[in-house]
């Protein structure tokens, strides 16, 4: 796409040059009102029961238009807290704290917020949607301005001091029109690929479920398992309690000092956010020092351990440890299931992520504040088990039957990642004036197909 005729320094290192006709403004001067809110005490029933005033927290923010929120507060809660303000429809919200830092939304209703949402009420100088796109494009730069350890924060003062390059309103509207059209196309492409991935995962799950409950020999004689929801199993298989198939079922603890003891390097420390059914997510792995590690002897990980999330929203996710780090440990939300000689650890992993394992996980949960499993419940899990040679044959069969599925999932995920990068890059170029879209008109048909082909071609 074409560039502007002339550029000038923006005065901000990470913005670079901007079109010569643009100006750089601090957020504090762009918006007519900037504020946040607070959280009424959760233990007071009359603050929340039958509430009618929308109260937004950062978990509601969706990087788009926000049509509703999860919690409403009462008029009494509002009256008792002078820091609560009703912000008008069309307010831009920015998350300032914790895991959601940098997420944004534009409200489609009047609402108040908690203290972690910064509310930016529009002005005549900047289109709210233009500002929305600018925050999307600069999320990482904004997060880099955060402070704090385990829970990074940005403050209202940080947001107020941000400097945004601004053109006139008519030009902003042209940029918004361009980005609305392009991001809608990209989002539909991504949604389509995500649906395809979900269908492929369902196919893979069906293959695993059948193999670990019925075997892979279609001519096998069957017998009642003795448990209604399991049904029949091959005649040569035996039903075991998990406690007889393991050498250890246990978890770790959060070290004294919590996230403050995490290091940039050292002994890998697995938390529930690192454990998924297909692999470990290691991009956000934490580390502890050797002294802390040695003080947690009972939760050291060994090769072949199946790590299972036993609390919270990720309960049931599990994967096996195959030496990703020389040494590793876990916190209290991750259970170590160490198999004995009767069962192959990879087979145990597949059983735990199959319907047999997941049905038992979700039927035996306990706890009021955070649903969870305890070790005694896990020990009582029913596991239909073939001989070890048959276990290996089943593993080989599943690998063969699902390899093409895994390849397609990987390909589609790479395309999604590439399109998301393209989306962010395109937004950044438009809102900083690196491309000139004032005369842009949408293209369809052949031109659109060629564009997407070029973007995703590197994944083929």
Give the pLDDT confidence of 161-211 residue by residue, as tens digits.
Answer: 999 999 999 999 999 999 999 999 999 999 999 999 999 999 999 999 999
pLDDT tens-digit readout, 436-445: 999 999 876 6
Same domain, 193 and 306: no
pLDDT score of 221 more than 90: yes
Which of 297-301, 389-393, 410-414 shows the lowest mean pLDDT across its residues? 297-301
Same domain, 174 and 256: no
Taking the CB of residue 175, how many other CB atoms lie within 10 A of it? 24
Res 448: pLDDT: 52
More confident residue, 254 or 424: 424
Q: Examine the fold and report which residue of 164, 197, 224 is the final residue of a domain before the chain moves on.
A: 164
Residues 115 and 119: their CA atoms lie apart, in Å, by: 10
Q: Do residues 152 and 163 lie in contact, with contact meaning Cβ atoms separated by under 8 Å?
A: no
Res 368: pLDDT: 42
Residues 348 and 381: their CA atoms lie apart, in Å, by: 12
**Where does the pLDDT of residue 42 fall: very low under 50, low under 70, confident under 90, or very high at 90 and above?**
confident
Res 447: pLDDT: 54
The answer to whether residue 216 sits within a structural domain is no
Res 451: pLDDT: 57
Region 47-52: mean pLDDT is 95
| 227 closest CA partner among 217, 239, 242 | 239
Structure tokens at 441: 């008109």
| 280 closest CA partner among 318, 310, 248, 252 | 318
pLDDT score of 370 more than 80: no
pLDDT score of 434 more than 50: yes
**Where does the pLDDT of residue 365 fall: very low under 50, low under 70, confident under 90, or very high at 90 and above?**
low
Average pLDDT, the chain: 92
Q: At 370, give phi and psi (nearest 5°).
A: -130, 115
Same domain, 242 and 369: yes
Q: What is the pTM of this model?
A: 0.81
Region 395-406: mean pLDDT is 96
The answer to whether residue 359 sits within a structural domain is yes
Residues 6 and 119: their CA atoms lie apart, in Å, by: 34
- At what angle are helices 345-353 and 169-214 packed, to 10 degrees? 120
DSSP state of 289: -
Domain with 130, as residue range(s), is 25-164
Q: Examine the fold and report which residue of 335, 360, 385 is the final residue of a domain before the chain moves on.
A: 385
More confident residue, 88 or 448: 88
- The enclosing domain of 137 has a CATH number of 3.90.220.20
Which of 4-8, 258-262, 357-361, 452-456 shows the lowest mean pLDDT across its residues? 452-456
- At what angle are helices 388-431 and 169-214 packed, to 10 degrees? 180
Same domain, 244 and 124: no
More confident residue, 383 or 453: 383
Helices (H), 215-368: 290-294, 345-353, 355-363
Tell me what percent of the residues of the chain surpass a pLDDT of 90: 81
Res 224: pLDDT: 95
Query: Can you name the residues that pair with 334 across neighbouring β-strands?
Result: 309
The answer to whether residue 219 sits within a structural domain is no
Residues 406 and 400: their CA atoms lie apart, in Å, by: 10
More confident residue, 152 or 410: 410
Res 349: pLDDT: 97
Q: Do residues 84 and 36 lie in contact, with contact meaning Cβ atoms separated by under 8 Å?
A: no
pLDDT score of 296 more than 60: yes
**Coil, strand, or helix at residue 234?**
strand
**Domain count within the chain:** 3
Q: Examine the fold and report which residue of 336, 367, 385 is the final residue of a domain before the chain moves on.
A: 385
């Amino acid at each position: 796409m074409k560039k502007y005729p002339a550029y000038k320094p923006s005065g901000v290192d990470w913005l670079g040059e901007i079109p010569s006709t643009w100006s750089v403004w601090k957020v504090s001067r762009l918006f007519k009102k900037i504020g946040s809110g607070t959280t009424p005490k959760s233990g007071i029933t009359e603050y929340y029961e039958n509430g009618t005033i929308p109260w937004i927290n950062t978990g509601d923010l969706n990087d788009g238009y926000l049509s509703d929120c999860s919690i409403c507060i009462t008029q009494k809660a509002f009256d008792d807290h002078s820091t609560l303000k009703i912000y008008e429809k069309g307010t831009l919200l920015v998350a300032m704290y914790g895991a959601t830092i940098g997420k944004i939304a534009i409200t489609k209703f009047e609402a108040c917020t908690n203290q972690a949402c910064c509310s930016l009420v529009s002005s005549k100088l900047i289109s709210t949607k233009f500002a929305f796109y600018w925050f999307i494009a600069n999320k990482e730069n904004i997060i880099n301005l955060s402070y704090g350890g385990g829970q990074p924060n940005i403050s209202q003062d940080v947001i107020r001091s941000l400097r945004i390059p601004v053109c006139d309103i008519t030009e902003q509207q042209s940029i918004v029109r361009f980005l609305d059209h392009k991001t809608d196309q990209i989002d539909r492409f991504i949604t389509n690929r995500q649906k395809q991935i979900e269908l492929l995962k369902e196919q893979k799950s069906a293959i695993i479920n059948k193999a670990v409950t019925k075997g892979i020999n279609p001519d096998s004689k069957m017998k009642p398992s003795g448990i209604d929801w399991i049904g029949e199993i091959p005649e040569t298989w035996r039903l075991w309690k998990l406690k007889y198939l393991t050498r250890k079922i246990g978890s770790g603890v959060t070290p004294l000092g919590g996230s403050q003891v995490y290091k940039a390097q050292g002994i890998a420390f697995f938390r529930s956010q690192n454990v998924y059914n297909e692999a470990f997510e290691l991009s956000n792995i934490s580390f502890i020092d050797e002294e802390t590690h040695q003080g947690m002897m009972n939760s050291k990980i060994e090769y072949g351990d199946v790590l299972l999330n036993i609390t919270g929203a990720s309960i049931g996710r599990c994967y096996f440890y195959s030496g990703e780090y020389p040494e590793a440990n876990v916190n209290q939300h991750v259970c170590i299931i160490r198999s004995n000689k009767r069962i192959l650890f990879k087979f145990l992993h597949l059983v735990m992520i199959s319907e047999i394992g997941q049905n038992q996980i979700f039927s035996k949960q306990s706890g009021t504040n955070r649903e969870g499993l305890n070790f005694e419940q896990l020990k009582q899990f029913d596991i239909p088990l073939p001989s070890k040679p048959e276990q290996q044959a089943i593993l080989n069969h599943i690998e063969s039957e699902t390899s093409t599925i895994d390849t397609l999932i990987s390909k589609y995920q790479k395309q999604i990642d590439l399109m998301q990068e393209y989306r962010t890059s395109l937004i950044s170029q438009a809102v900083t004036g690196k491309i000139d879209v004032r005369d842009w008109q949408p293209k369809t048909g052949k031109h659109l197909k060629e564009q997407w082909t070029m973007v995703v071609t590197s994944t083929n």
